[in-house]
Amino acid sequence: MFESQSVSAKFIDPSGKIVERRIEIRTHPITGRTSRVSFSRIDEKEPGTDSLPQPPPNADQTQSCPFCRPQVNSQTPQLHPDLSSAGRLTRGDSLLFPNLFPYGSYSAVSLFDNTHFVEIGQACAESYANSFINCSHYLAKVKQHDPRAVYLAITQNHLPSAGGSLLHPHLQINADRVATNHQRVLLQRANDFYHQNGNYLFSSYLDHEIAEGSRIIGTTGAWEWIAAFAPEGFFEIWGILPQKTSFQQVASSDWLDLAHGILNTQRFYRNLCRNGYNLGILVVDMPSSRLELRIVIMVRSNYAPWVRSDHTGFEMILGDMTTFNAPEQTAEQARSFFLMPSSK
Ligand SMILES: [Zn+2]
Q: Say how many Å lie between the CA of residue 249 and the centre of ligand 1.
A: 32
Amino acid letter for position 194: Y
Rounded distance, CA 9 to CA 64, Å? 52
Q: E strands of the chain, at which residues?
A: 3-12, 18-27, 34-38, 89-91, 94-98, 106-111, 151-158, 170-176, 216-220, 223-227, 234-241, 276-284, 293-300, 322-323
Backbone angles phi, psi at 20, to 5 degrees: -130, 125
**How much is the pTM?**
0.95
CA dist 180 to 149, 158, 241, 282, Å? 12, 21, 21, 10
DSSP annotation of 160 reads G
Please say whether the beta carbons of 27 and 186 come within 8 A: no
Q: Say how many Å lie between the CA of residue 247 and the centre of ligand 1.
A: 28
Q: Say how many Å lie between the CA of residue 60 and the centre of ligand 1.
A: 8
**N residues, the chain:** 344
Q: Which residues pair with 220 in a beta bridge?
A: 223
In order along its 344 residues, the chain shows pLDDT tens digits of 799 999 999 999 999 999 999 999 999 999 999 999 999 988 887 777 889 999 999 999 999 999 999 999 999 999 999 999 999 999 999 999 999 999 999 999 999 999 999 999 999 999 999 999 999 999 999 999 999 999 999 999 999 999 999 999 999 999 999 999 999 999 999 999 999 999 999 999 999 999 999 999 999 999 999 999 999 999 999 999 999 999 999 999 999 999 999 999 999 999 999 999 999 999 999 999 999 999 999 999 998 888 889 999 999 999 999 999 999 999 999 999 999 655 44
Q: Say how many Å lie between the CA of residue 282 and the centre of ligand 1.
A: 27
Please say whether the beta carbons of 198 and 230 come within 8 A: no
Q: Say how many Å lie between the CA of residue 72 and the centre of ligand 1.
A: 8
Residues with CB under 5 A from ligand 1 (ion): 65, 67-68, 116, 168
pLDDT of residue 44: 80
pLDDT of residue 344: 40
Q: Say how many Å lie between the CA of residue 278 and the centre of ligand 1.
A: 19
pLDDT of residue 47: 73
DSSP string, 184-246: HHHHHHHHHHHHHHSS-HHHHHHHHHHHH-TTEEEEETTEEEEE-SS-SSEEEEEEEETT--S
Q: Say how many Å lie between the CA of residue 66 and the centre of ligand 1.
A: 6
Residue 55 exposed, middle or buried by CB count within 10 Å (0-12, 13-18, 19+): middle
Q: Where are the alpha helices (DSSP H) in 58-180?
A: 72-75, 125-145
pLDDT of residue 45: 73
Backbone angles phi, psi at 212, to 5 degrees: -80, -45
DSSP annotation of 331 reads H
pLDDT of residue 297: 98
CB within 8 A of 96, min separation 6: which ones?
88, 89, 90, 108, 109, 110, 111, 134, 135, 137, 138, 173
Q: Say how many Å lie between the CA of residue 169 and the centre of ligand 1.
A: 8
Parallel, antiparallel, or unpaired for β 293-300 and 276-284? antiparallel
Q: Say how many Å lie between the CA of residue 165 and the centre of ligand 1.
A: 12
Rounded distance, CA 65 to CA 119, Å? 17
pLDDT of residue 342: 53
pLDDT of residue 204: 97
